[in-house]
Amino acid sequence: MQKKIFMTYTVLILLGIIFTGLLTLNFVRTSYIENIENKLITNANLINKFIEEKTSKMPFDNIDFSKYAHEYAKEINSRVTIISTDGIVMGDSEIALKDLPKIENHLYRPEVQKALKGKIGKSKRKSTTTNIEYVYIAVPITIENKIYGITRLAFPLTEIYKLNYKLLQNTFIAALCGLFVTIILGYRFVNKVTKPIQEITKAAKKIAHGKFNNKVYIKSDDEIGLLADTFNIMTEKLNDTISEIRDKNTKLQSTLASMNEALFAIDKSYKIMLINPVARSLFNIQDEDVYGKHILEVIRNNKLHDVLEDILENKNIGEREITIDYPETKILKIYTNFIRLDMDPNRIIGVMALIQDITEMRKLEKMRTEFVANVSHELKTPLTSISGFIETLKSGAIDNEKVRNRFLDIIDIETERLTRLIDDLLTLSSIENHKFATKKEEININEIINETNVMAEALAKQKQITYNTELESNLPSIYGNRDWFKQMILNLVENAIKYTQEQGQVKLFVYERYNNIFIVVKDNGIGIPKEDIPRLFERFYRVDKARSRKIGGTGLGLAIVKHIVLSFNGEIKVNSQLGKGSEFIVRIPISEREKLA
């Protein structure tokens, strides 16, 4: 800015000097020419007066005009030409008498034509006779109101050109001197004017970078001083406003970040105004800057867009429930409301949406419904059977010993089945309610495996199944509920034996890797379909319901295993191929306390 002002100031001064010089040059030139013209007119009138006096003594045609032209030319330092009314040159101070006949006729010269009309003729041009540029003045020689001839005086313009050159030279020198003075004074003036502006600019840049407490200190009573005072007041108010906005924004961001539900807001053009971290996570939004973008650019879900469109177009707010498939299948409950201006509550500027992920809740509701239905079915089936056989016995079958004993055996089997089901339900409930609060004790893994092997080998022998175990030596002890750990291994082994055909094989591997205890139960039984594996650990879920009931399962064994594994902060995985067998892998971490023990 300083350079611009300085250059502008310098150029304006320079142009002013140049224009002033040119105007002065033109004025002096014009004045000089007018002065010469007036002098020539005066001299011409004096010559005419002399000629008029001569005509009183001799005829006009007898006067020696050439002689008098040369004499007067020396006196007035000008070219003198006497011309007849016919345009014939009768005398010329620049031409000898003998050469006068050679001169062309001057009748049609502009100044001559005007003089013949009784006026003073003026003209500026180059003479064809002497090849010099002159100023011509032609005055008619009038005697007794009759024009006898014309006295024409000429002054060369070479003197004027010399004068113009000197004036131009002086103007150039004046311009250089003015420019020099302008540079010195202008720099000081511009620096004085722009320095406060530079200080204000520097302070403004600091404010633009977030330093809102900057002020400028300028002592001046003019507009710059007023600007500085206004700038400082603006800075204080801006600092207060920014601090207030930051405080509100911090509170808002903290509130949004601490929410458990997803929240976002859009304007009437479906552009995002607000979004919290939970919403970003729910819809897998990776883009950091989403504000101002269309909702479909950020959340690529047409169902959600349709809900928002229905709200904005039909004013239909409230709660909705939708299912989305991306980034994963989820059931969402959406609570919506309009965003209104504080100053104009009737004006709607957008929609606020609060979203709850109720996928797990709906899943649990479904599981609860299925659990109640399964428990009812599992209890009702043996009870119905028992009730039917009792009714039959009451009807007279009790008197038939063979029938009575067969029915009583069936009743005993069904009662035992009910007992197993109730025991498994009680065990599962106990594990779920106390898996984190149960008393932990040291568990010798080798000892537990030896105890379970006795029961597992007996079961395997009944089906002629080969049962093998492989245990690493010096396995570290773990801590937890000993009975649960034993039941977990027993359930896995029994489950493998149940679903392995006769002459099959079941293996149990226990080893330590990467600070974890791994328990692997592998069989070459019937296997599990791939689509059934994700639901394998649900209560009462059976891959083959008829086969499971036939071999006496309650459908709770693997559910119990899963909850026992979770009580040890472990995890369980299943690898299976239909018709080729299954592999259950349990990983239980070894804590620092367990390692020291």
| Residue 508 pLDDT | 92
Alpha helices, H only, 106-157: 110-116
Give the separation between CA 587 and CA 597, rounded to whole angstroms.
19
- Judged against a pLDDT cut of 70, whether residue 509 lies above it is answered with yes
The H or E element containing residue 80 is strand 79-84
- Domain tally, the chain: 5
CB atoms within 10 A of CB 6: 19
- Regarding whether 151 and 27 lie in a shared domain, the answer is yes
Highest-confidence segment of 49-58, 60-69, 458-467: 458-467
Give the separation between CA 187 and CA 303, rounded to whole angstroms.
69
- Average the pLDDT over 407-426 and give the result: 70
- Regarding whether 346 and 282 lie in a shared domain, the answer is yes
- Regarding whether 320 and 235 lie in a shared domain, the answer is no
Query: Parallel, antiparallel, or unpaired: how do β-strands 121-126 and 441-443 relate?
Result: unpaired
**Which of 162, 177, 192 is the last residue in one of the domains?**
162
Position 19 confidence tier, pLDDT thresholds 50, 70, 90 = confident
The H or E element containing residue 123 is strand 121-126
Which CATH number do you get for residue 554?
A: 3.30.565.10
Amino acid at 18: I
**What does DSSP assign to residue 183?**
H
- Regarding whether 559 and 459 lie in a shared domain, the answer is yes
Following CA atoms 361, 367, 369, 375 in sequence, which dihedral angle do they give, to the nearest 10 degrees? -150
- Judged against a pLDDT cut of 60, whether residue 280 lies above it is answered with yes
* 530, 543 contact by CB (below 8 A): no
Position 378 confidence tier, pLDDT thresholds 50, 70, 90 = low
Cβ density class 93-108: b for 16+ within 10 Å, e for less:
bbbeeeebeebeebee
- Regarding whether 406 and 271 lie in a shared domain, the answer is no
- Judged against a pLDDT cut of 60, whether residue 551 lies above it is answered with no
Tokens representing 278?
A: 């939970």
- Judged against a pLDDT cut of 50, whether residue 596 lies above it is answered with no
Amino acid at 562: K
Position 377 confidence tier, pLDDT thresholds 50, 70, 90 = low
Residues 6+ apart with CB under 8 A from 406: none
| Positive/negative CA dihedral, 459, 460, 461, 463 | positive
- Judged against a pLDDT cut of 80, whether residue 435 lies above it is answered with no
- Regarding whether 457 and 500 lie in a shared domain, the answer is yes
- The number of residues making up the chain comes to 597
Tokens representing 273?
A: 């105004």
Position 518 confidence tier, pLDDT thresholds 50, 70, 90 = very high
Give the separation between CA 160 and CA 137, rounded to whole angstroms.
16
- Regarding whether 148 and 92 lie in a shared domain, the answer is yes
Average pLDDT, the chain: 79
| Residue 495 pLDDT | 86
Give the separation between CA 489 and CA 451, rounded to whole angstroms.
10
**380 or 513: which leads in pLDDT:** 513
| Residue 168 pLDDT | 75
Name which of 16-25, 296-305, 468-477 the model is least confident about: 16-25
* 497, 467 contact by CB (below 8 A): yes
- Tell me what percent of the chain is helix, strand and coil, each rounded to the nearest 5: 55, 20, 25
Residue 54 within any structural domain of the chain? yes
- Average the pLDDT over 35-48 and give the result: 85
**Secondary structure in 3-state letters for 202-262:** HHHHHHHCCCCCCCCCCCCCCHHHHHHHHHHHHHHHHHHHHHHHHHHHHHHHHHHHHCCCE
Residue 336 within any structural domain of the chain? yes
**Which of 144, 162, 180 is the last residue in one of the domains?**
162
Which CATH number do you get for residue 408?
A: 1.10.287.130
- Average the pLDDT over 413-432 and give the result: 67
Residue 185 within any structural domain of the chain? no
Give residue-wise pLDDT tens across range 198-225.
Answer: 777 777 777 777 676 667 766 666 777 7
- Average the pLDDT over 445-457 and give the result: 85
| Residue 548 pLDDT | 47
- Regarding whether 250 and 263 lie in a shared domain, the answer is no
The full DSSP string for 424-477 is HHHHHHHHHHHTTTSPPEEE-HHHHHHHHHHHHHHHHHHTT-EEEEEE-TTPPP
- Regarding whether 385 and 338 lie in a shared domain, the answer is no
- Average the pLDDT over 105-112 and give the result: 86
| Residue 361 pLDDT | 80
Tokens representing 425?
A: 């339900």
| Residue 587 pLDDT | 92
Query: Parallel, antiparallel, or unpaired: how do β-strands 505-513 and 466-471 relate?
Result: parallel
- The sheet with strand 79-84 has its strands ordered as 89-92, 79-84, 146-156, 133-143, 121-126
Residue 378 within any structural domain of the chain? yes
| Residue 507 pLDDT | 92
* 87, 113 contact by CB (below 8 A): no
* 51, 151 contact by CB (below 8 A): yes
Give residue-wise pLDDT tens across range 318-340.
Answer: 788 888 877 778 888 888 888 88
Residue 167 within any structural domain of the chain? no
Residue 312 within any structural domain of the chain? yes
Q: Can you give the residue range of the structural domain that contains 270? A: 259-356
- Regarding whether 548 and 457 lie in a shared domain, the answer is yes
Which CATH number do you get for residue 329?
A: 3.30.450.20
CB atoms within 10 A of CB 210: 7
**53 or 552: which leads in pLDDT:** 53
The H or E element containing residue 336 is strand 330-340
Greatest C-alpha distance within the chain = 199
Which residue's entry shows tokens 């319901």? 545
Residue 206 within any structural domain of the chain? no
| Residue 430 pLDDT | 65
Q: Does a cis peptide bond (omega within 30 degrees of 0) precede residue 327?
A: yes
- Regarding whether 146 and 7 lie in a shared domain, the answer is yes
The H or E element containing residue 181 is helix 158-208
- Judged against a pLDDT cut of 50, whether residue 546 lies above it is answered with no
| Residue 221 pLDDT | 67
What are the backbone angles phi and psi of residue 402, rounded to the nearest 5°? -65, -45
Name which of 17-26, 248-257, 548-557 the model is least confident about: 548-557
**Cross-strand pairs, 577:** 581
Query: Parallel, antiparallel, or unpaired: how do β-strands 516-523 and 581-589 relate?
Result: antiparallel
- Average the pLDDT over 135-150 and give the result: 87
**109 or 411: which leads in pLDDT:** 109
Which residue's entry shows tokens 């002399």? 50
Q: Work out the percent of the chain whose per-residue pLDDT is above 70.
A: 82
Give residue-wise pLDDT tens across range 157-209.
Answer: 777 777 777 777 777 777 677 777 777 776 676 666 667 777 777 777 777 77
* 311, 317 contact by CB (below 8 A): yes
- Judged against a pLDDT cut of 80, whether residue 503 lies above it is answered with yes
| Residue 439 pLDDT | 65
Q: Is 153 left (phi over 0), alpha (psi -120 to 50) or beta?
A: beta
Name which of 74-78, 373-377, 494-498, 529-533 the model is least confident about: 373-377
User: CB-side exposure of 48: number of CA atoms within 13 Å?
Assistant: 24
Residue 340 within any structural domain of the chain? yes
Position 595 confidence tier, pLDDT thresholds 50, 70, 90 = very low
**Which of 256, 290, 319 is the last residue in one of the domains?**
256
- Regarding whether 350 and 275 lie in a shared domain, the answer is yes
